[in-house]
Amino acid sequence: MVVELASLTVISVKAVSGMITFSVTDKTQLTYPIFYIMFIIMIASCVFQVKLLNQATKLYNTAAVVPVNHVFFTTSAIIAGIIFYQEFLGAAFLTVFIYLFGCFLSFLGVFLVTRNREKEHLPQSYIDFGNVPGKQMLDKIQPDSNGLSYGTLPDGSDSAKNPSGEKKEV
């Protein structure tokens, strides 16, 4: 999820910075609604990206979260730039190769720094989505504490029986 937000952040930051640059050098872009839409998207994606990274650091060690985020953020930024802004269009092969080789060296550095870290054992292996507003959590239903099990009624009769005590045909 953070990687998708990273791509969105890169696209919106590039759009906002391009509009500001164009406003300074030529015609103002601040009168167009797209500038404000992209500005809001930029701020919102940054805020949610930080929030998700904060949640990840609560579950995992920072030494594991930051390198993984760096590699995927860089990869998504490159792909977003290639797709939306055609950054490599008309670039020489050597320029593209040096750029990608620099990214590879960055990823190699992250790998070398983090490879000798010991694996941590998590006390909780999942994220609790119980606090998501509006989501029904039917799998979190617990049996009553008074000793009833599933399928029994408070009077002790089986729920598969009708009120007269005879078995229902299913």
Q: What is the pLDDT of residues 123-134, one digit of tens each?
A: 555 555 555 555
**Helix, strand, coil abundance in the chain, percent, nearest 5:** 60, 0, 40
- Those residues whose C-beta lies under 8 Å from the C-beta of residue 148, and which sit 6 or more positions away, are 154
CA distances to 3, 38, 89 from 16, rounded to whole Å, are 20, 6, 21
Per-residue pLDDT at 128: 56
Task: DSSP letter for 141, please.
Answer: -
Per-residue pLDDT at 111: 87
Counting as low any pLDDT under 50, the low residues of the chain are 159-160, 168, 170
Per-residue pLDDT at 166: 53
Per-residue pLDDT at 170: 47
> Other CB atoms closer than 10 Å to residue 5's CB: what's the count?
21
47-52, Cβ contacts within 8 angstroms, sequence gap of 24 or more: 48/5, 49/2, 49/5, 49/6, 49/9, 52/1, 52/2, 52/5
